[in-house]
Structure 1
Amino acid sequence: MPQTGPAVWAAGDLTAADWMVPVGTEEAAELEAALTAAHAAAPVPALTRLAPILADVTTRLDTGRGFCLLRGLPFDRHGAAAAEAALLALGMELGKPLNGQAPAVSRLIGLPLTEAGTRSGPPRFHTEACDAIALLCMTNGPEAPPHVLVSAGAVHNEIMRSDRAALAELYEPAPLIEEGEPVLRAVFTVTGGAFAARYTRHAVEEAARMPQPGAPPLPVGLRPAFDLLDKVCAEPALMLRIEPRPGDLMLFNPHLVWKLRTLVEAAPDAPEAAQEFRRLRITMAHSRRTVAEPG
């Protein structure tokens, strides 16, 4: 069945009003107070005025377009440490931040232009096992590439129109390596009526190169299905390009919206870069995850 609903979109279907969430002066002042407190190493106050906006964000991520961008918050005015503390406080209003063994907020920098311009092979998307990814723009130079989003539901429907056999392959679980562990997962799933999609071709191909004992072989038709999926993801009509400004907060549900990776993790003490973001991964009350995650 084709996927339907607000999360199934092409770039031309949308205007900035569909995904931009402007923030008023009172809400911005509330975050300003939180940043000031974080900068002084004081407790971050509750974000009561921002709460309705964050509730709207939750709805947008789960049952809306699958992504949004908050503009007008003063994240970039008090330094990185304060911004990270405020981002974490905001994330706790949306759900439970994931941290595991590492800090919850990660520093991301842009790929060097030489590497970004020569990178080849299949597209690499954010595939974190969470319900929302928040990317806070700290610095974004004019030479930085745009951030590219595609609707997983729209990709699904294009594949259905062109090759139903390939679509069937993408619904079949395949062995892959995730965080060093072998798992089975399909690209597309529908559980309890809820559509979810995670595309990890590189992890599937890694598992095929180093098969685990007893793991099923890679289905013969899966690589051609991956090739078709890559082709569809690269269709200009589907690719929405966004150019974040410093202080912008982009959030997306990686089970509904796929974002091309243009950033890499960097150590907190690494030199400053022309393009810097902070990433927070969040689990939410209503999850589309298809694999149970550790707490």
Structure 2
Amino acid sequence: MTTAIDLAPISGPSAWRGDELRTSTEWIYQLSDAERAELETVGRRFVADNPDLRTVTAADYPLPACAGLNEECARQIDSGRGFILVRGLRTEEYGDTLAGAIFFLMGLHLGVPMGQNQMGDVLDHVIATSNKTLDDPSALPSRVRDRLPFHSDSSDVVALMCLRAAKAGGASSLVSGTTIYNEILRRRPDLAPLLFESWHWDWHRQDPDAPARTYTSPICSYVDGIFSTYAGSSMIFSAQDYPEVPRLTEAQIELLHLYDEVSQAPGLALDMDFQPGDVQWLLNYAALHSRTGYVDFPEPERRRHLLRLWLKRDVGRPLVAGFGKHVVTERGSEIAPGGRFRIAEAVEPNFEWGN
């Protein structure tokens, strides 16, 4: 395994720009009638069977007509752009339980679902449960309406299904980690090597029950010619609240600010206006994600509502040791009381969570 840092621009399908992709639909997979029919049929059986979401497997619910869909999603996740949007599900006709069952089934065929919160829920929600803003230290990013900074999640793959869109705003924003690196290298080659050093990340703020207050990871990994990213400067800055964490140097602080500045540079990000039924698959090592701020409908039942899956997936990607959020666990580990592990209850957001 070769982990030498080659400070040269990186090319390939993961080095995309939003202003170039925006004019095409190559990143959108339109379901065929046969694929949609199979997902609906098997999804209804899933609802009727009501399996435990912690133990059900893809082998329990084969999807032969969707073989092409699964292959293309896997190809784009593992070695392509790092993301794909699947369109064509009629979720407004299904109701949330069937929609959630179809989403979970799709996830089972791409990886192993992971717990996402203290309750161990393997199907989580992105929905505003209060009027808090990110200025409030107790606010959860998935439960507010603010624009989010670009970041990586605590999994190999993160997926979102749109049940209901916002009244205004709420676009899903993606940006290539490779393109960010190339731009930093172009602007500040003196700072770029710091991306490959180990940084302290705030674990406690991500999970109040974490066994330690921080974990460590580089921001970038380059192994055997494969480039990967794990980013989220807010978690690095908040780790500075702990006295045992080494103080950031001036160069490190400058780099973090530059990283955020570059991620927001005009033309780099791709904004997707989610439609009900859209499903987005994203490899956390290839692209960062965010969303624009949004306005909800006044009626609670019409709020912007996305379902979220975190997947453990062997993407065949070499990584430096201890890269990313390497301290998380898969489903089936110790589960706290209060988790929702049957599909009909799992698709209902917990409005006590995040308030």
Alignment TM-score > 0.5, same fold: yes
The aligned counterpart of 1:28 is 36
Q: Deviations 1:220-274 (Å, cap 9, x if unpaired)? A: 311111111111111111011111110010111121111114589xxxxxx4342
RMSD: 2.8
Could you say if the C-alpha distance between residues 39 and 77 of structure 1 is closer, same or farther in structure 2, counting changes exceeding 3 Å? Answer: farther
The aligned counterpart of 1:278 is 307
Asked if the contact 2:150/2:263 (under 8 Å) is kept, the reply is: no
Percentage of pairs with the same residue: 25
The aligned counterpart of 1:86 is 102
| 1:260 partner SS | strand
Which of 245, 254, 260 in structure 1 is aligned with 2:290? Answer: 260
Matched residues, number: 285
Instruction: Map 1:1-16 to 2 at 5 A.
Output: 1-14=8-21, 15-16=23-24
Find the aligned partners of 1:160 and 1:89 in 2 and give their Cα distance.
Answer: 41
Which of 161, 165, 184 in structure 2 is aligned with 1:159? Answer: 184
| 1:94 partner SS | coil
Could you say if the C-alpha distance between residues 232 and 103 of structure 1 is closer, same or farther in structure 2, counting changes exceeding 3 Å? Answer: same
AA of the residue aligned to 2:33? T
Asked if the contact 2:196/2:219 (under 8 Å) is kept, the reply is: yes
Unpaired stretches in structure 2, ≥5 consecutive residues: 1-7, 52-59, 135-143, 295-299, 331-355
The aligned counterpart of 2:251 is 221
Which of 14, 27, 36 in structure 2 is aligned with 1:19? Answer: 27
Q: Does 1:168 align with 2:175?
A: no
AA of the residue aligned to 1:189? S
Q: Does 1:206 align with 2:206?
A: no
Asked if the contact 2:162/2:307 (under 8 Å) is kept, the reply is: yes
Q: Does 1:193 align with 2:201?
A: no
Q: Does 1:145 align with 2:177?
A: no
Q: Does 1:183 align with 2:201?
A: no
Q: Identify which range, 226-235 or 121-130, moves more after superposition.
A: 121-130
Find the aligned partners of 2:17 and 2:130 in 1 and give their Cα distance.
Answer: 29
Displacement after TM superposition at 1:122 (Å): 10
Find the aligned partners of 2:49 and 2:84 in 1 and give their Cα distance.
Answer: 30
TM-score by length of 2: 0.73
The aligned counterpart of 1:53 is 69
Instruction: Map 1:241-260 to 2 at 5 A.
Output: 241-260=271-290
The aligned counterpart of 2:154 is 129
The aligned counterpart of 1:105 is 123
AA of the residue aligned to 1:102? G
Q: Report the structure, 1 or 2, having the larger strand content.
A: 1
